[in-house]
Amino acid sequence: MVYDQYRIAAIVPCYNEEAAVAKVVSDLRHHLPTAVVYVYDNGSTDRTVERAEAAGAVVRHELLRGKGNVVRRAFADIDADIYLLVDGDDTYDPAAAPELVERLVRGKLDHVLGVRTETRSADGSSAYRPAHALGNRMLNRIVCSLFGDTMGDMLSGYRAFSRRFVKSFPALSRGFEIETELTVHTLALRIPSSSQPVGFRDRAVGSESKLHTLRDGWRILRVILGLLRHERPVAYFGALATALSTAASLLLLPVLGQAGRTPSSATLATLVASGAALVVAVCLLGTGLVLEGVRRNRHELSRLGYLNHSGVVITEPLTGPWTRSPGQEAGSPTAPSGDAPDTLPVQRGAGLTASPT
């Protein structure tokens, strides 16, 4: 197989998943026999650790509660060529793992997102809760309107990454909002990426969802607003400035209608309030412009950090079409057919290796 030569680390965040984690580990080892499966226990109180170890996983622990903290720790601790991130609740189809990895390698990509394709159970029940499905659609639309794309399913927990992506990703989120951060990071830096349909099914019997619709939905929405402030400062502060200047103009209309008369105390107060609002609006617009310059500098540094790591190196000729990076126009020049294929050896990094320790 095309990925046999690479060090692959499968990262499985878990919290009280004793009913499903053993099957997840076994399926991953079956479909990706060369991968090392890391189960990161997030303070489970059941037999998650014992079940994972019995299934052949390397178990590590993260005491800070939250999926984002687990991903942050795993990305920092593990050194591999290819990383696979999947939930430990057995809702994602493990047979899609080789497809995600092969798409990453063949396309010379840094991020492949598994877009969930629902698989209904025998009784016709859905793996999606109605509230979760509605919230997912709403948040996808918000991100699409703000950043231009969602890659199909921005909240999916099934992804493949290159080492270059993982070692340049800041991982600031603490909880389930980590998926949003991963997607926006990809879109903001225009990282070469693609998507792949993957099966999605209901949880195993005895396994309970850790996702709270309202609480986690609100957290994700806050992350989106925070990312908008950081990634689109002119639009964010410009909208606030527009709202304030509009309110100031509405306050000024009655004052202008009393021109030539002796101003009352209420008129003077309205005039001062509207003037203050206009000053604040100008300051907000200026803040947005300054932060836009900061954003550009931050993206330049992030880009340099991203380029400081090598991507996945192919050691056999490509057989499929070259994958365009985001923003590349269709029909742009591709490599001449006579070019020699990449034959560089696989890059090996320092630190922990993707093998049991």
Determine the residue type at 64.
L
**Average pLDDT of each block of 10 consecutive residues along the chain (357 residues)?**
82 93 95 95 93 96 93 95 94 93 93 83 54 70 75 87 93 85 87 91 64 68 79 90 91 71 72 89 94 88 84 58 42 40 39 44
- pLDDT at residue 232, rounded to an integer: 86
Show the DSSP H helices in the chain as ranges: 21-31, 48-54, 67-77, 97-106, 130-147, 163-166, 178-188, 213-231, 233-257, 265-307
- Write down the residue that tokens 């630190």 correspond to: 351
Q: Which of 179, 68, 200, 164 is nearest to 113 (CA)?
A: 179
CB proximity list for 8: less than 8 A, separation 6 or greater: 32, 34, 35, 36, 80, 81, 82, 83, 84, 101, 354
Domains of the chain, residue spans: 8-229, 232-307
| 260-284 as b/e: b if 16+ CB within 10 A | eeeeeeeeeebeeebeebbeebeeb
Cα 320-36-94 angle, rounded to 5 deg = 60
Determine the residue type at 292.
E
**What's the rounded Cα separation, in Å, for the pair 352 and 348?**
11
- Residue 352: CA count within 13 A, CB half-sphere: 17
Q: What is the CATH number of domain 8-229?
A: 3.90.550.10
For residue 79, the 8-state DSSP code is E
Residue 195 near residue 153, CB atoms below 8 Å: yes
- pLDDT at residue 193, rounded to an integer: 93
| 109-137 as b/e: b if 16+ CB within 10 A | bbbbbbbbeeeeeeeeeebeeeebeebbe
Question: β-pairing, 159-162 with 82-85?
Answer: antiparallel
